[in-house]
Amino acid sequence: MKYFRSPALTAGILAGVLALTASLSSQAAPAVPESSASAALAPAAASGAAPAASVLPQPPGIAAKAYLLVDVTAGGQQLAGSDIDELVEPASLTKLMTAYLVFDALRAKKVSLTQTCPVSEQAWKTPGSRMFINPKMQVPVEDLIKGMVVQSGNDATVALAECVGGSVDHFVQMMNDQALTLGMKATTYKNPDGLPAPGHMTTARDLATLAQRLMRDFPADVGYYAIKKYHYPGTPVSNENNRNTLLQRDPTVDGLKTGHTDAAGYCLVVTAKRDFPNLSGRRLLSVVLGAASEAARANESQKLLNWGYTAYEGVKLFDAGQPAATPRVWKGSSGTLKLGSASAIVVAAPAGDAAKITTEVARPEPLIAPFKQGQAVATLKIKLDGQVIEEVPLIALEAVDEAGFLGRAWDAMRLWMR
């Protein structure tokens, strides 16, 4: 007996298999963990000897109402903190959000650095720290930024708020809207300068979030925070020194902002970047709130930074664009998908404990093409002694298009038979 294979029948069978597996694939795919030691740590992890459990370093005593230390290079990993979610008055740390909105307006070309702004009566009469501008002046935006950042001028801050927002009230609404966008859920602004006002509150955690986004979103603009001296023509030269005294003391410090009121105490958000043989440009961020004096806020911040750099080491697990995993892909023009990050993946580990770090990739299974380059696909869980200390999103480093009809049909049949 002879059997004849009908092309139409074959196509029909394949189409049926495709439909069946498409239905199965449309259901929620479970996350599949893939454990491994990172490439950078593989020799130590493969040695066979089980390392002793890590003991996390204990921070020094910090004389402040609240404090927080994060490793910016390690994706904002928290190294130490106390009362980081307690509501506090931010004083002139408020100006970090004012600067964020001004930088955003510059990027959107709503204002320019050379554009001049009038000095209103309200700006001129704003009490507290000053740039010493007056209503007879038309001051360029860039000089107002320097007056706000270096001299912490409340008059410069209000002038910027009026220039960018049209009015102080509208600018304050912009501040609160931006705080929600950045995830600063505990923060409420009542003014752009930080003078005491009922309900004008934030937390150490929210300030760290804001500072990191300010540096990440406006890398070309945060250089203003490293300026040590500035004064505007016609204003007192004696007012030229940046109130962040760590800029004078520590050459690795390049920002960010001081704050002080009687209620808030002395506050400082400071960042430093130091080079190490295994990791250049490692950046830490310290938030110290409610210190007893100007000297105390500088000393406690310096203590916290120095401790962070010595107690924890930065460990680069993967370079920017380096695949952290290459899982199987179905129905695609390629059989695999390279997963990684657009920036280097770095983690902070207690000094000497780098060999105890392992990684695990959590992803859907099966992975069905197509995938766009940059599409979020999986999560890299970074563990120390089996405990997750950081999670990093993994994206598709390259696009994988959908395969042709026969390729999809073949993979559909193989998936169905699994």
Task: Classify the C-alpha dihedral 317-323-329-331 as positive or negative.
Answer: positive
Torsion of CA 219, 222, 228, 232, to 10 degrees: 130
Task: Classify the C-alpha dihedral 360-361-362-367 as positive or negative.
Answer: negative
3-state secondary structure of 246: helix
Angstrom distance (rounded) from CA 247 to CA 359? 38
Angstrom distance (rounded) from CA 140 to CA 135? 14
Task: Classify the C-alpha dihedral 379-181-319-334 as positive or negative.
Answer: positive
**Checking DSSP bridges between strand 66-71 and strand 279-291, what pairing results, if any?**
antiparallel
Angstrom distance (rounded) from CA 336 to CA 222? 40
Cβ partners under 8 Å of residue 213, min gap 6: 100, 182
Tell me if 108 sits within 8 A of 351, measured CB to CB: no
Residue 274 to residues 128, 136, 151, 281, 283, Cα–Cα distance (Å): 34, 44, 26, 5, 7
Ramachandran sector of residue 385 (left: φ over 0; alpha: ψ -120 to 50; beta: rest): left
Catalytic residues: 92, 95, 152
